[in-house]
Amino acid sequence: MHIPDGFIAPQFYLPAYAVTGGFWVWAVRGLKQRLDEETIPRLAVITALAYVIGMVMLPLPGGSTGHLVGIGMLAMLFGVRLAFLAYSLVLLLQALLFGAGGITALPVNALAVGLVGAITMTLFMGWRSERYQLPFLVAGAFLAVVIPALLIALVLGIQPAIAQRDDGTPLFFPFGPEVVIPAILLPHLVIGGLEALLTLAVWRYAKTRGWLA
């Protein structure tokens, strides 16, 4: 999901920045009440972990690569708002420090992965029962990667229809949804499975440390 600059048209990313900015303001509201001396170091550690795993490229079938996300464990431990803010920071640092993803793609990734991914995981956390926790945790972490991947694929797939030259050639991303959806979604089925395993490991550790209610 490290989309470089030049793939998304300004007709799309400028409104996306406006929408994302509204959600950033919403997420920041009441931040002081949610952060305390116990939450801050935990959030820092898990955010750093999300940053690191997002920089490690994993070989995938077909000769491509991908990376884990970490939004499931962030949402599991800290809820939607903090997970959204933390992952937005991860995306910003990756873009500025290593060029892993463009600034123009930041609002798209923040909304799709940071917000939708966090909401997906939080919903599954709320649906779990004391007896059946693991299936909901695994499904939530898996879908928190796959659903954002589908959304990002759709965003890229509609770019040829948004901005074209006079001869009809796309100005930005050149491939339509029929190409980009399977190209992005299929590898992320594998990544989603790995993400579920990572989230489950973090859940077991957090449970032993009393981090979970």
User: Are 48 and 174 a contacting pair, CB within 8 Å?
Assistant: no
Q: How far apart are CA 68 and CA 58, in angstroms?
A: 8
For the ranges 63-77, 145-159, 161-175, the maximum mean pLDDT occurs at 145-159
So what's the pLDDT on residue 37?
86
Mean pLDDT on 10-33: 93
202 occurs within a structural domain: yes
1 occurs within a structural domain: no
Helix, coil or strand: residue 58: strand
- Boundaries of domain holding 172: 10-208
| Tokens coding 106 | 């930041």
In this prediction, residue 211 has a pLDDT band, given cuts at 50, 70 and 90, of: confident
Number of domains in the chain: 1
Q: What is the CATH number of the domain that holds 173?
A: 1.10.1760.20
28 occurs within a structural domain: yes
48 occurs within a structural domain: yes
78 occurs within a structural domain: yes
So what's the pLDDT on residue 115?
97
| Tokens coding 80 | 């939607």
Q: For residue 19, how many other CB atoms are within 10 A of its CB? A: 14
187 occurs within a structural domain: yes
pLDDT tens for 155-177 read 999 999 998 888 888 999 999 99
5 occurs within a structural domain: no
26 occurs within a structural domain: yes
